[in-house]
Structure 1
Amino acid sequence: MSKLPDLEGLAVFAKVVELRSFAAAAEDLAMSKATVSKAVTRLEERLGARLFNRTSRRLALTDAGQSLVERATRVLAEAQAAEEEASHQSSAPRGVVRLAVPMSLGITTLGPVLPAFFAAYPEVSVDLHLSDATVDLVGMGFDMALRIADLPDSSLVARRLRAVKRHVVASPAYWGKYGRPTHPASLAEHRGVTYGHQASPETWRFRNAAHEEVSIRPHSVIRANNGDVLVPSLIAGVGVAVLPDFIVGEALAAGMLEEVLTDWTASPIALHLVMPPGGPRPARVEALAGYLAKVLGGKG
């Protein structure tokens, strides 16, 4: 084996993973598809292991490929950052940033602040992926993501931007029919409208200033993997939900929903900016990260 690692092969492999396609990687790298294929084959031969399972319609990482992708992505990112610094691109960020964001947050909170970013950085573009599912940043080639959660320890670099308040809400008609609970334990007797993309979605946990903790499991009338789709059912009086302010804030302000149990707090969650490990990062990524931290950050 050569004393020098196959840096080109690693970078090409990372680009194929990022774009999920040999052809797309070839176009992005200004190479022929044959050159890209040969680079990956050469790397596979060097490592003695297949990195992809390839069919005419699907490209999937093998176990060996999955174990290599994080470091290969880091090699590519560091090489790009080094070139940008050497060519003075740090003063004028340019290129594409791949960003993953939960659907509702993207529409209500991120969308309105992006135009100002593009005005400040006209040579940076954003490939925005909206989904409430937690994406694999490294495996899917994302530069960063916004996540709303109580994040567990992981290899990702996470920056907490602000706390996210959740409200126990239902329509005035629902509270009139079923009664307003004065303690979270009473919610076990109510009809739940449940958001599915969270840890233990069927269990609602609460805590008050006296550090009393309560966990309940309401009967779910509807469960969905997106919060916005639940709001019409809430307004119609179908049930009660625990949802964040960026989903139910307008309906609360309009009086279509009413909050209860304001002296209790649902399990704490926060808005985080997360990125794959390693560095330095390209100037375009640092520019967007800094901007999002500024405009979306806050106290709490």
Structure 2
Amino acid sequence: MDRLTEMEAFATVVDQGGFTDAARKMGISKSAVSKHVSSLEARLGARLLNRTTRRVSPTEIGLAYYDRARRVLNDAGEADALVTAMQSAPSGLLRISVATDFGVNHLSPLLGEFLQQYPDITINMVLNNRFVELISEGFDMAIRVGELEDSTLRARKLADTTKRMIGSPAYFQKFGRPQKIDDLNEHKLLHYSNQASGNVWKITAPSGEKRQVRTAGWLTVNDGQSLLNAAIAGLGIAYLPSFLFKEAKEKGLVEEAIPGLPMERLGIYAVYPPGRFTQPKVRAFIDFLITHFDGDDIMI
């Protein structure tokens, strides 16, 4: 006889407290349940149930076996549910956390196309400039730019961008253009307040050496678009991802502060909670983004 069926019959007898109710629960005859349990006891060489005319109860060995058998049955049920979920059409509410800059410039324009492809999915996208706790705050996934912090989250890379120092032509005309990293100490820097390192810029020198620059500026803010606006207005030099200032640079509103420096490369990642399988709605959105960004030049 099938081992799982024997386990299920025995566990159901224990759960229901008797063969009659177990048979009703399983949708088979009482004699069939009895045969499954007897076969299991014969195979194991142990009596698992105490049978009387009034009640059925597990023996000490039967109770220990029941605990393990119930776990096996639950795992088997989860395995069946996993396959069903993996093959089902993506649906349900998808909660996404994304940095404001990237969300406004690169994610929002794609949502219409995605929702047309997957009409059974609804999206709640939260724009913020902090690393949310996905599980405790109820998010299905997040889009993050830059180096990932040590985490148990799973991650898939979507694309690359670069990070560069930029300022307006008017600023450089008034205050001069820095020629090397040390010259930044004489300039007004525009800082991003959500950086873990504080008002410190980590810059790669032409030699490959990693340098740190710390200096005060006229503005510290937790929003990249506001920093870009400040740079365009001539308030100082900002250190921003290229996907944010690409259009402004093409229009001549900003220029690179020190063009000869190596480009700082940043990865753009989809992160989501760990688990034995990825929810279809999450997998569908990540696959959609990977297809969209494949070959897309968001590095300049």
**TM beyond 0.5:** yes
Q: Quick one: distance in 1 between partners of 2:100 and 2:80?
A: 34
Q: Quick one: distance in 2 between partners of 1:294 and 1:241?
A: 31
3-state SS, counterpart of residue 259 of structure 2:
coil
CA offset at residue 214 of structure 1? 2.1
AA in 2 matched with 1:100: S
Contact 2:191/2:221 (CA < 8 Å) preserved in 1? yes
Contact 2:164/2:241 (CA < 8 Å) preserved in 1? yes
Change (3 A) 1:231 1:82: farther
CA offset at residue 199 of structure 1? 2.9
Q: Percent identity?
A: 32
State the match for 2:204 in structure 1.
Answer: 207
State the match for 1:32 in structure 2.
Answer: none
Of the three residues 174, 185, 188, the one matched with 1:188 is 185
Change (3 A) 1:82 1:187: farther
State the match for 1:103 in structure 2.
Answer: 100
Q: Quick one: distance in 2 between partners of 1:143 and 1:259?
A: 37
Where do 5+ consecutive residues of structure 2 fail to align?
1-10, 12-73
State the match for 1:219 in structure 2.
Answer: 216
Q: Quick one: distance in 2 between partners of 1:176 and 1:164?
A: 28
Q: Quick one: distance in 2 between partners of 1:215 and 1:225?
A: 20
CA offset at residue 259 of structure 1? 1.0
State the match for 2:45 in structure 1.
Answer: none
State the match for 1:231 in structure 2.
Answer: 228
Alignment of 1:1-300 (within 5 A): 83=81, 85-86=83-84, 90-265=87-262, 267-298=264-295
3-state SS, counterpart of residue 245 of structure 2:
helix
Q: Identify the range of structure 1 (167-176 vs 199-208) with the bigger mean alpha-carbon deviation.
A: 199-208
CA offset at residue 82 of structure 1? 5.7
AA in 1 matched with 2:194: H
CA offset at residue 252 of structure 1? 0.9
3-state SS, counterpart of residue 262 of structure 2:
strand
Q: Quick one: distance in 2 between partners of 1:132 and 1:265?
A: 26
CA offset at residue 212 of structure 1? 2.8
3-state SS, counterpart of residue 188 of structure 1:
helix
3-state SS, counterpart of residue 217 of structure 2:
strand
3-state SS, counterpart of residue 149 of structure 2:
coil
What RMSD in Å do the two structures reach over aligned CA positions?
Answer: 2.5
Q: Quick one: distance in 2 between partners of 1:199 and 1:268?
A: 18
Q: Quick one: distance in 1 between partners of 2:80 and 2:109?
A: 33
Number of positions where the alignment pairs a residue of Structure 1 with one of Structure 2: 223
State the match for 1:29 in structure 2.
Answer: none
Change (3 A) 1:239 1:82: farther
Report Cα offsets for 1:4-36 as digits up to 9, x if no partner: xxxxxxxxxxxxxxxxxxxxxxxxxxxxxxxxx
Change (3 A) 1:229 1:277: same
AA in 2 matched with 1:283: P
Q: Quick one: distance in 2 between partners of 1:113 and 1:94?
A: 18
Q: Quick one: distance in 2 between partners of 1:297 and 1:194?
A: 31
Bigger radius of gyration, 1 or 2? 2
Where do 5+ consecutive residues of structure 1 fail to align?
4-74
Q: Quick one: distance in 2 between partners of 1:268 and 1:188?
A: 23
AA in 2 matched with 1:97: L
Q: Quick one: distance in 1 between partners of 2:136 and 2:258?
A: 41
Report Cα offsets for 1:198-221 as digits up to 9, x if no partner: 231311121145313322112221
Q: Quick one: distance in 2 between partners of 1:103 and 1:165?
A: 17
Contact 1:193/1:220 (CA < 8 Å) preserved in 2? yes
Q: Identify the range of structure 1 (98-107 vs 263-272) with the bigger mean alpha-carbon deviation.
A: 263-272
AA in 2 matched with 1:99: I
Report Cα offsets for 1:250-290 as digits up to 9, x if no partner: 21111111112222236543211101111312211211121
3-state SS, counterpart of residue 131 of structure 2:
coil
Q: Quick one: distance in 2 between partners of 1:252 and 1:157?
A: 34
State the match for 2:63 in structure 1.
Answer: none
